[in-house]
Structure 1
Amino acid sequence: MIQFDFPWLWLLLPLPLLAYHGLPAYRAPHRKLRVPFTVAFKDRIEQKASPMAAGISRAALALRWLIWALLLTAAARPAYLGPPITHIEPRRDLVLAIDLSQSMSEPDATTSDGADTPRLVAVKRAASQFINWRTDDRIGLVGFGDRAFALAPPSREHDTLQQILAMTETGMAGANTALGDAIGVTLKLLEQSDRPDKLLILLTDGNDNRSRLDPIQAARIANNRGLTIHTIGFGRTDTGTDDALDAPTLARIAGMTGGQSFLATDRTALERVYRTIDAMTPHNAEELRARPRRELFWIPVLIASGLLLLHLLADLRSSQAQPQAGWRETERREP
């Protein structure tokens, strides 16, 4: 598709013709010259233009008008627009923080058919499905145990993220749970983010027993920085051990940041939780459309320049031939 940026310039197309017919002819000032052979020039001065000369004049005018039209076409800025290219720009940075403590190896994540599965295996399966659903989000990954660390920054490289998620193992970050540090690392990861929507999905099966940053204080900072936190407690709260799931703290963290808290005791319930989060989190992306543009103004400029050069050469050749013909005619008329 060819588009002109300034098509209104074509309104100037008849301007040279109007000037040619409306303005008086230009007469160059000159001094009178007396010559002894005035009679020799009399016939040339009084003779009328031949039909051939009139034809050449009309052709020259048409050529000049064509050059003018080509220059106007170039000034109208023609360009070829290619087919539109669509680019989806995510407007949300989403981080999955997954507990990798030793307790995640407990094989009590039963399925609907009664099979026992380690907790981390069930979490990786559910998180992988969730990543596949969130095609429009930039997703990052944080793992935590004794310490929290970033496994992947938020990006749309979901295939790479799936590979990193598949390689996570229980105990690789230590045996304990640094819940507050996981929020702190996420805040650090999103510190340079310019996305208007930021979300953390924090999953754990225990309580905070190793963080240097208190989870409630971390949640307060997250709220001030516009980070929403959904918490998922995966496991049982009635184990009677020191590392039992701390559901009240998870609920408080979510409530302070405008998120929601969920509990899941088996793999089926965990997958249902991720599906619920997906449903309540709209796909927030901006569609950017662009069309490749190729400038074409140089084509009429090149043609106009060529025609102008030919016209000047023709005028130069004509001006050189006329004096010689007049001189020969004068010589023939002299006695």
Structure 2
Amino acid sequence: MLEGIQFANPQFFWLLLVLPLTIAWYVWKRKKQTAALRMSSVNGFKVSSSFLAKVRPLLFVLRLLALAAFITAMARPQSSDVSSKTKTTNGIDIVMAIDVSSSMLARDLKPNRLQALKRVAADFIEERPSDRIGLVVYGGESFTKTPITSDKSIALRALEDVNYGLVEDGTAIGSGLATAVNRLKDSKAKSKVIILLTDGVKTAGSIEPEDAAELAVAFGIKVYTIGIGSNGMAQTPIAQNPNGSFRYGMRKVEIDEDLLKNIADRTGGQYFRATNNASLANIYDDINKLEKTEIEEFKYTNFDEKFRPFVLLGLGLLLLEFLLRNTVFRSFI
């Protein structure tokens, strides 16, 4: 009955100490009220005990129980239901700029760089429930795959569709960064972030990466840059067969790390290097920890008062005691 019940005024339970004192007083008074008749012998009397006389203390017990019920009611038993609501007080707008050049099909990450990136990026998106996320892809040119959105299902579907061949081959780092900046420049979010990933050096595009970085600075956008590719040689597409498949060969991994570091430093971000699947996953974990979204939680507690049943119980016991005293036990009072 009292499972999940708490008491608003538990100090009233001290009044229960009155009960044993009342019992002691009742026993003492009962002995005082009992008259004694001394006789030399009772052999001539037929002794019979009345059942009502034996259960007469029930009236006192009913009063005690009524008093205990009233004391419990005064302690205000209640149950509580706690509900909470969260409010994002400082959301982050994030654009992921992804290189989709042919070199992203290199197999130094499994099954290749692009597929490894998509798996890790999907986990990253799902771990940012309170932020808006957009996607930009770039190769020889760039375009917006999806604008910033709070609908994670849209962002995840767009990420799944990111593949080689969406744009002409090449690595237009400046164009990819500039397009991402363009998606964020009008954002009202307090924090704006670009995650720029590439596995090569600038080979295409009319916009210099340094100029795009200056645009990011002007609009208060932080850029995290990621260079993806193992150290040394990697199995990379070197030619395309007539059926559209690639022929692979070993090539030296070339990443313009100085450029990526410069972009990150200018904008207040950081540069990371992913040489395998594990390090790529760790990089996104690190970015996830660095870019924290402030969430305010409001808790509401609803109290349901439970004292009324105890009051009714106490009144019922007193009424029962009154009726028994004035009916069944009337001749004994």
TM-score of the aligned structures, taking structure 2 as reference length: 0.56
Which amino acid in the other structure matches residue 246 of structure 1? Answer: D
Residue aligning to 2:131? 137
Q: Residue deviations 1:69-92, cap 9 Å, x none?
A: xxxxxxxxxxxxxx9976546621
**What is the Cα deviation at residue 220 of structure 1?**
1.3
Which amino acid in the other structure matches residue 248 of structure 1? Answer: D
The equivalences for 1:1-335 within 5 A come to 88=88, 91-109=91-109, 116-236=110-230, 238-239=232-233, 244-285=254-295
Which amino acid in the other structure matches residue 101 of structure 2? Answer: S
- Does the 8 Å contact 2:95/2:193 carry over to 1? yes
Structure 2 unaligned segments of length 5 or more: list them.
Answer: 1-82, 234-249, 300-333
Cα distance between partner residues in 2 of 1:242 and 1:177? 16
Q: Judging changes above 3 Å, is the alpha-carbon distance between structure 1 residues 209 and 221 closer, same or farther for their aligned structure 2 residues? A: same
Which amino acid in the other structure matches residue 170 of structure 2? Answer: N
**What is the Cα deviation at residue 145 of structure 1?**
0.4
Cα distance between partner residues in 1 of 2:276 and 2:104? 13
TM-score of the aligned structures, taking structure 1 as reference length: 0.56
Cα distance between partner residues in 2 of 1:117 and 1:262? 21
Q: Residue deviations 1:152-206, cap 9 Å, x none?
A: 1111111111011011111322210110011111121113211121000001111
Which amino acid in the other structure matches residue 257 of structure 1? Answer: T
SS in structure 2 at match of 1:182:
helix
The total of aligned residue pairs comes to 202
- Does the 8 Å contact 1:237/1:245 carry over to 2? no
Cα distance between partner residues in 1 of 2:117 and 2:289? 18
Q: Judging changes above 3 Å, is the alpha-carbon distance between structure 1 residues 245 and 84 closer, same or farther for their aligned structure 2 residues? A: closer
SS in structure 2 at match of 1:221:
helix
Flag the structure with higher helix content: 1
Cα distance between partner residues in 2 of 1:259 and 1:86? 28
SS in structure 2 at match of 1:206:
coil
**What is the Cα deviation at residue 287 of structure 1?**
6.7
Q: Judging changes above 3 Å, is the alpha-carbon distance between structure 1 residues 276 and 266 closer, same or farther for their aligned structure 2 residues? A: same
- Does the 8 Å contact 1:90/1:137 carry over to 2? no
For the aligned residues, what is the CA RMSD? 2.5
Cα distance between partner residues in 1 of 2:163 and 2:179? 19
Identity of aligned residues (%): 33
- Does the 8 Å contact 1:103/1:175 carry over to 2? no
**What is the Cα deviation at residue 273 of structure 1?**
0.6
Flag the structure with higher strand content: 2
Q: Residue deviations 1:267-293, cap 9 Å, x none?
A: 11100110011111112356799xxxx
Cα distance between partner residues in 1 of 2:141 and 2:296? 36
Structure 1: 4+ residue segments shifted above 3 A? 83-90, 236-243, 284-289
- Does the 8 Å contact 2:231/2:275 carry over to 1? no
**What is the Cα deviation at residue 237 of structure 1?**
5.5
- Does the 8 Å contact 1:136/1:283 carry over to 2? yes
